[in-house]
Amino acid sequence: MNVVETILVYAVIPLAIYLVVGAATLRKKFSGTPRYRPGQPWEYPAMWWSANPDGVGAVHGAAAEVKVAPAGASTAAGGARGKW
């Protein structure tokens, strides 16, 4: 390979690929829906997400009901059998 072929393969072709991909990402067509910008009014309804919709509103943590095991009962849970 001579110097011109080396520059073409290792510099010009990768640069052309970067330019094509960069131009494709800057096109308005590929930008999708308009984005929210700070200061604009929020025109969409509130959307709340919960990993456990059945548990929304349930009491958790220290305020939750404490379950006391009878004397002599095993309190272990989990393990290899997955009894959680």
**b/e string for 51-71 if b means 16 or more Cβ within 10 A?**
eeeeeeeeeeeeeeeeeeeee
Phi and psi of 58, rounded to 5°? Answer: -75, 150
Token pair 């919960």 in the structure block, residue: 50
Residue pair 82/76 in contact by the 8 Å Cβ criterion: no
Per run of 10 residues, the mean pLDDT along the chain (length 84 residues) is: 87 92 77 78 81 67 60 64 59
**b/e string for 72-81 if b means 16 or more Cβ within 10 A?**
eeeeeeeeee
Domain parsing of the chain, residue ranges: 1-30
